[in-house]
Structure 1
Amino acid sequence: MITPTELLFYCRPGFEPDLAAELADKVADLGREGESRFELDTGFLRFVLADGEPANVLHRVLPLASLVFARQSLVALPTLSLSREDRLSPIVDQVVESGWSFDSLWQETPDTNEAKTLAGLIKALDRPLESLLRKRKALRRKAGRRRLHLLWSAGDRVQIGMSFPGNRSDLSGGIRRLRFPHGAPSRSTLKLEEAWHEFVPKEAWDSRLAEGMQAADLGAAPGGWTWQLVNRGMNVYAVDNGPMDRKLMATGLVEHVKEDGFVWEPPMCLDWLVCDIVDKPSRVESMVERWFVNRWCREAIFNLKLPMKRRWPEVSLCLGRLAEALQEGGIEGKIQCRQLYHDREEVTVHVRVKE
């Protein structure tokens, strides 16, 4: 029987060092030890625990939702190098030797152009692999909703991972792909839509993203994020010196405020603050601090544009400052931060004040 001693994380290609830095801090805070192993631009990272410690123990106390740069988190078995003459047997044998059973199988590749060429191979292997796993009773009905993942990084190289309900992404590759909505003035609109999916439970959309709510969009022009707010029937202060989309203005739900988003103050407490301003992360964080300390909004989503180097230290510093400001202001709130699929060199932060 194999005891998994590593975790497998998916991430945006190029951000492997940032995920490694984040894991180093958070794993150390948990009193654990281990080492990140990765190659740059591959879109995944292996975290190998020290002294053969079972990986599922760390997995339970390191929720995916608490990680900024990870898209998926799996308990993983050692990487397999396969013969092109028989790819299936080593996979099935390793799964059976793990002692675990699963009720579903997902075959995936990293989010790279090179890996996407493996789609045909994966499709060809799907049925025979599933059939063999069922015969060996590694795939069965009602296996606790455990999922078996195969991450193919090459035609002869695969790593087996396992995920558990409540601490995984239920999206293939950990990626939420959204269709660009007709009528939106810019593709940035998808960032806010994805953020809502990530941070606001679907069953709460009607109450927390409700028609008639009051919102502000700082750095709004031409209106990609404002479009999402208006599409939910909200009244929006669009704060930007630049021009807004004419169709948005024709809705009657938008008041264009031609001012600097960093200094504008709302006339009342708003339901939502959203912001996608391109500026230093510390400056954006400081502005959001001011909004919450002054109780100008109840909920916010904003992006932090990241530096080229030391991304995780910058994110950690900003989140720490914001948490400290809320605490000093006597404000009980929840802060979440993730790098989303539609983000690029940035992360998305969500803050909600407890009412």
Structure 2
Amino acid sequence: MSNTHFILATCRSGYESDLAAEMVAKATELGVYGYVQTTKGTGSVHYHCTSENDLNKLSRQLRIDDVVFARQMFTHLVTIDPLPASQRVEAVLAALLPHADALPKPLGQVLVEHPDTDSGHEVAKFCRKFAVPLRQALRKAKLLSAKETSSQSRLHIFMPSFEQLFIGVSTAAQSHPQNNGIRRLKFPSAAPSRSTLKLEEAILELLTESQRQQLFREGARAVDLGACPGGWTYQLVSRGMHVEAVDNGAMAESLMATGQVSYFAADGFKYKPEYGRAQLLVCDMIERPDRVAALMQKWLQVGYTDAAIFNLKLPMKKRYETVAELLKQLTVALASQYSIVCKQLYHNRDEVTVAIMPKA
């Protein structure tokens, strides 16, 4: 059993080095110093702080929404290694008891999680089953609230394998309220492509409820660059918007039949909105990320659109550096009037999603 303290963050497998570079950069911005420990293919990064004060500062100030490549994040308390083959609930409680005074009381949630790796997927079923008796035991020990709430602090049980288990805590801002930081979505059968889930997740994860209410309303207009066959357009139409779908391919007939879609066979880099402006611009074109970012910036600066949601396809190397540089450019150009959020979402692959919304 180990008591080494650090911030544990999880990511898509294969993106460990990108998350590690980002964690170092974010910690340095906050005046916190330490070192990262990770191995490719583990789906996790450990950021070790040089002092307890730095650990506490990083835990308070680093939000999950601010870390592009992190799915989940929490402050480590204790490691159980090796994890016994039986009486695992008792083992977790025994490991927690020495830290009981330091735990937020009561904890609002307990999340039993696993990495996005082959070994992690092997323990996924066990994690789901293990959560039930663990919650009961934590409530009996008066460490977990009787009613689960995502607005309070969380207890994280992170299992890379059946032999090892990390225990930690997070604030509501430091972590994601759902297991593994993943919002599970059901593919709508009427959508013409699975890419529809990318935009749905972006709308739910990157926008506030207020932003969604202001943006998606009957009669509002949107432009979808690189629209075909209509996965993203489907999300906008289902929210009552009229969509200018721009692409050289064919749109799904079911979308055209709604009367809410106008199709334009045009170059997305040369197109201008039909009526001079639109409430929203969305884009999932397979193009260089710098070209897409520059195009989105132009539309916002000249007033073609009020807001934008778009994907940036990532290069094979220096993915974090590429994202950081483009976000810096967008921030310098737009931050005075817009809020900018960027995440690698669950339904993304080699890309990140950016949402730029007008400030209230």
Is the pair's TM-score, using the shorter chain for normalization, greater than 0.5?
Answer: yes
Query: What root-mean-square deviation, in Å, do the aligned CA atoms of Structure 1 and Structure 2 show?
Result: 2.3
Structure 2 match to 1:272 = 280
Contact 1:4–1:56 under 8 Å retained in 2: no
Contact 1:5–1:54 under 8 Å retained in 2: no
Gaps of 5+ in 2: none
CA distance in 2, matches of 1:315, 1:121: 36
Contact 2:217–2:239 under 8 Å retained in 1: yes
Q: Which amino acid aligns with 1:337?
A: C
Instruction: Find the residue that maps to 2:279 and give its secondary structure.
Output: strand
- 1:158-173 alignment to 2 at 5 Å? 158-173=165-180
Structure 2 match to 1:74 = 74
Instruction: Find the residue that maps to 2:307 and give its secondary structure.
Output: strand
Q: Which amino acid aligns with 2:289?
A: P
Shift of 1:282: 0.5
Structure 2 match to 1:22 = 22
Q: 1:293 to 1:131 in 2, by over 3 A?
A: closer
Q: Is 1:154 the counterpart of 2:164 in the alignment?
A: no
TM-score normalised by length of structure 2 = 0.90
TM-superposition CA deviations, 1:243-300 (whole Å, max 9, x none):
1111211222111111100111123221000000001110101111110110111110
Deviates more, 1:110-119 or 1:247-256: 110-119
Deviates more, 1:223-232 or 1:142-151: 142-151
TM-superposition CA deviations, 1:2-53 (whole Å, max 9, x none):
9873111121111111111111111111111112212212222211111344
TM-superposition CA deviations, 1:71-101 (whole Å, max 9, x none):
1121112322023255344421221111214
Q: Which amino acid aligns with 1:173?
A: N
Q: 1:130 to 1:324 in 2, by over 3 A?
A: closer
CA distance in 2, matches of 1:207, 1:36: 41
Q: Is 1:318 the counterpart of 2:319 in the alignment?
A: no
Contact 2:286–2:313 under 8 Å retained in 1: yes
Q: Which amino acid aligns with 1:345?
A: D
Structure 2 match to 1:92 = 93
Q: 1:118 to 1:216 in 2, by over 3 A?
A: same
Structure 1 match to 2:296 = 288
Q: 1:340 to 1:125 in 2, by over 3 A?
A: closer
CA distance in 2, matches of 1:225, 1:134: 43
Contact 1:184–1:227 under 8 Å retained in 2: yes
- 1:136-285 alignment to 2 at 5 Å? 136-141=141-146, 145-202=152-209, 204-266=211-273, 267-285=275-293
CA distance in 2, matches of 1:260, 1:72: 38
CA distance in 1, matches of 2:240, 2:128: 43
Sequence identity (%): 40
TM-superposition CA deviations, 1:80-136 (whole Å, max 9, x none):
202325534442122111121424322111123432222454455445544544454
TM-score normalised by length of structure 1 = 0.92
Structure 1 match to 2:47 = 47
Gaps of 5+ in 1: none
Q: Is 1:38 the counterpart of 2:50 in the alignment?
A: no
CA distance in 1, matches of 2:35, 2:326: 25
Contact 1:96–1:136 under 8 Å retained in 2: no
CA distance in 2, matches of 1:234, 1:134: 46
Instruction: Find the residue that maps to 1:45 and give its secondary structure.
Output: strand
Report the count of equivalent residues: 351
